[in-house]
Amino acid sequence: MIAKALSAIAFDRNNRASLQTQLCLRLKGVIQSGSFSPGEPSLSSRELALDLRVSRNTVIAAYDRLVGEGYLEARPRAGLFVNE
């Protein structure tokens, strides 16, 4: 379910907002809509970058921002998960 929801993210490359910002906003929207359950794991940054055809740094920056804002939580040696 996560892979399907995240791989459907589309970018507007003519938008003034960076790809990182667009990805962050879309991920927030998906989380806020309840499409992901609390505790559900996110895709790896490599996998999501490949699916979306963006740089891994773009995904990492968006994930870091979402961790900082409390939407995702990092679990050592386990990955990123939707925060409760």
Dig out the tokens for 17 from the structure: 């907002």
Q: Where is mean pLDDT largest: 1-5, 9-13, 58-62?
A: 58-62
pLDDT of residue 64: 96
pTM of the model: 0.86
Q: Each residue of 36-72: pLDDT tens digit?
A: 889 999 989 999 999 889 999 999 999 999 999 999 9
pLDDT of residue 35: 83
Please state the domain extents for the chain.
Answer: 2-82
- Please give the Cα distance from 57 to 34 (Å, whole number): 26
Q: Which CATH architecture has domain 2-82?
A: Orthogonal Bundle (1.10)
Dig out the tokens for 29 from the structure: 């929207």
How would you write 35-46 as a 3-class SS string? CCCCCCECCCHH
CB burial class (10 A; 0-12, 13-18, 19+) of residue 50?
A: middle
